[in-house]
Amino acid sequence: MDLATRIMEALGYPGIILVVAAENLFPPIPSEVVLPFAGFMTTASSLTIPGVIAAATAGSLLGALILYGLGAAFGAERIERFVDRYQRYLTITPEHMRQARAWFARYGVYTVFFCRMVPVMRSIISIPAGLVRMNLGAFFLYTLLGSLIWNGALVGVGALLGASWPLVSEWLGYYSSAVKVIGALALVALAVWIFRPRRER
């Protein structure tokens, strides 16, 4: 995440396109963090909210088209074997792949639109679309619309938080202090339980 945010800060719009495309290809990069940060950048730089949303959507389309191409080129069995072998790094499993295929088979092309707003599935739904060679124009349109909604919402949240960032930081400080106090009390309670007489325990 540190690398992703540094790339966006250094390159601006091209950096956002690159990071969001990578997030589509590599699910461990969470759009739920990347996109709000990109929205926050609009309050501290020359970037604009429409520009950030456009760049993020371009990145989403790029990543989705690459996965579509992989699905069309390699087929379900080879992709599932790859996911099974590297699932600990990808944070997705063959079961995720089978679920995406089942959703696509049941709900058809509309799945491409709705899954753009579902974590994990928003990335891998492009693969079954490629497997069945979904019409590329329809795939592009549904990906564009779903990604615009998802990206716009998360970028907007980041921009809203950025406008009151000192207050947000202050409350995060309170939260961190509270977590430390609760953790200390939990450790004391655990120590009391461990060291009291066995019969009482």
Residues 118 and 156 in one domain: yes
Residues 142 and 192 in one domain: no
How far is residue 106 CA from its own chain's centroid?
24
Residues 137 and 73 in one domain: yes
Residues 112 and 45 in one domain: yes
Residues 130 and 184 in one domain: no
Number of domains composing the chain = 2
Considering the entire predicted model, what is its pTM? Answer: 0.69
Exposure b/e, 32-46, CB count within 10 A at least 16 = b: eebbbbbbbbbbeee
Per-residue pLDDT of the chain (201 residues; tens, 9 = 90+): 667 778 888 888 998 999 889 888 876 677 777 888 888 888 888 889 999 999 999 999 999 999 888 887 877 677 777 767 766 666 667 777 677 777 777 777 788 888 788 777 777 788 888 887 888 888 899 999 999 999 998 888 888 887 665 555 455 456 556 655 665 665 566 566 666 665 554
Task: Identify the CA nearest to 130 among candidates 77, 81, 65.
Answer: 65
For residue 184, give its domain range.
165-201
Residues 130 and 176 in one domain: no
Measured distance CA(8)–CA(16) in Å, rounded: 5
Instruction: Say which amino acid occupies 105.
Output: A
